[in-house]
Amino acid sequence: MGKGNAVVGQSGGPTSVINSSLAGIVEGCREVADIDRLLGMRWGIEGFMADQLVDLSAQSQATIDALRHTPSSILGSSRHKLQDADLPAILAQLQRHDIRTIFMIGGNDTMDTIHRLTDYAADAGYELRGVGVPKTVDNDLFATDHTPGYPSAARYTALSVQQSGRLARDMQKVDQYTIYQSIGRDSGWLAAAGALAKRCEEDAPHLVYLPERAFDRDRFLADVAAVHARVGYVSIVCGEGIRYADGTPVSASRTTDRFSNVEFGAMGGASVGMRLHSMISEEFGWRGEFQVTESLPMCAIDRAVDTDLSEAHACGREAARLAGTGASGVMVTIERESNDPYRSILGTAPLSEVAVRAKPMPDEMINDAGNFPTEAFFDYLRPLVGDLPTYAALRLDGTGS
């Protein structure tokens, strides 16, 4: 392949470290001999079709350095679902700008976009390399130990539940229960992270409900009553995507997005946290509160994990290196070599596999009751998140000593 330009886009929801991956791609492309310029898609593939591009090669090194610690998606994102009718227009744009390499940072749908574009270009006789960089706080991408962005979002969740759990414990004479709702449409990786800081039975959370297990209202209320009787208050974490056994979302929403994914808590349905809140209030007559962070774990750079930032950057650089070797149709993956000390290497997975498969939490990471993660999950997560704070505990035996 002769010299040409490259383009990179960010797609879907952001993470705290997605811009670090972008910085890695920018720096890596400088070392690839057959890439002249690196262009950035404004607003993802949707903006690319509208010829909204920025010259990343012209940015100062200070700007690229700052990207490594800048939250959200600096290029602007999109959730446009690629249609077959879009492909000719995209190919025309690729030809217009002499783009021979495309990088996309995103999740399953994004990997599917690259896969379809490179296949279409090949059928049209146009040489195009495509390399994906993983990104999602949901951590449900197939073939990678974890996704850049997940460790930081998991830390955000663990700290939030730990600190709001202290509030719930100390305010139990006012509010007998609290519900923390986590994002995570089809997998419970992020919701489960809320239990990482728990040290004893009294600590929050007491119950964790995940999309991998069918939700049962009667069993849920029995769990709540049992915890309240033992501890005096109830702290609950739930994933936004929990469903009943028949597949109906607990949020009862019937609204879907452009990818046919249910819009949890959208018009036509309350959030799942509100649903659970109502169930408890109606059953027991208790006062309680719910907390819905929505997209905040996606952009909290103040809680970003250093290892996550470094791995995200390394994935970007590796994507550029792979393109320089002629690789195409692959996504960069993270492979864990050791837990203690934590050590990882980078690998690849075919886009054709990543695009059509997901990675739910495995059975051994969820307890038999389906209402709490197991030690196997905590062993997996601790090296990614790092140390969490330990707070004061008073002696309550009345001795004062």
Q: One of 112, 138, 145, 308 is an active-site residue; which one?
A: 138
Read off the pLDDT band of 3 (50, 70, 90): confident
Asked whether residue 110 is marked as a ligand-binding residue, the answer is no
> What pLDDT shows up at residue 16?
97
Indicate if 374 and 348 belong to the same structural domain. Answer: no
Q: How large is the average pLDDT for residues 217-241?
A: 97
Q: Determine the pLDDT at residue 294.
A: 87
pLDDT of the residue at 86: 96
| Rounded to 5°, angle at Cα 43 from 124 and 135 | 85
Q: Is the pLDDT of residue 254 over 80?
A: no
Same domain, 33 and 94: yes
User: What is the DSSP code string of 135-181?
Assistant: --TT--BTTSSS-TTHHHHHHHHHHHHHHHHHHHHHTTTT-SEEEEE
* The pLDDT value given to residue 267: 38
- Consecutive H or E run containing 230: helix 217-231
User: Domain of 245?
Assistant: 151-299+360-385
pLDDT band at 356 (very low <50, low <70, confident <90, very high): confident
pLDDT, residue 270, reads 63
The tally of domains found in the chain comes to: 2
Distance CA 106, CA 288 (A): 37
CATH label of the domain that carries residue 308: 3.40.50.450
Q: Please report, for the domain that includes residue 273, its CATH number.
A: 3.40.50.460
Say yes or no: 89 and 209 in one domain. no
200 and 91 in a common domain: no
pLDDT value of residue 259? 54
Residues 179 and 267 in one domain: yes
Percent of the chain with pLDDT over 70: 94
pLDDT, mean of residues 170-196: 96
Split at pLDDT 50, 70, 90, the class of 393 is confident
Q: Please tell me whether residues 103 and 164 are part of one structural domain.
A: no
Q: Is 275 helix (H, G, I), strand (E, B) or coil?
A: helix
Would the annotation count 136 as a binding residue?
yes
Per-residue pLDDT at 268 exceeds 60: no
Instruction: Please tell me whether residue 341 adopts helix, strand or coil conformation.
Output: coil
Give the CA dihedral 177, 362, 150, 309, nearest 10 degrees.
140
pLDDT, tens digit, for every residue of 358-372? 999 999 999 999 999
Residues 254 and 330 occupy one common structural domain: no
> Is 393 within a domain?
no
pLDDT tens, residue by residue, 82-139: 999 999 999 999 999 999 999 999 999 999 999 999 999 999 999 999 999 999 999 9
Question: Do 255 and 366 sit in the same domain of this protein?
Answer: yes
Pair 245, 330 in one domain: no
In a domain, 325, yes or no: yes
For residue 118, give Cα distances in angstroms to 129, 273, 316, 329: 7, 41, 19, 7
**Lowest-confidence range among 55-69, 222-236, 290-304?**
290-304
State yes or no: is 138 an active-site residue. Answer: yes
Clarify whether residues 25 and 88 are in a common domain. Answer: yes
Verify that 199 and 240 share a domain, yes or no.
yes
- In this model, does residue 18 exceed pLDDT 70? yes
Q: Are residues 119 and 166 in the same domain?
A: no
Position 397 in a domain: no
Q: Please report whether residue 284 resides in a domain.
A: yes
The verdict on whether residue 240 carries a ligand-binding annotation is: yes
In a domain, 391, yes or no: no
The pLDDT confidence band at residue 81, using thresholds 50, 70 and 90, is: confident
CA 262, CA 191: separation in Å to the nearest integer?
Answer: 18
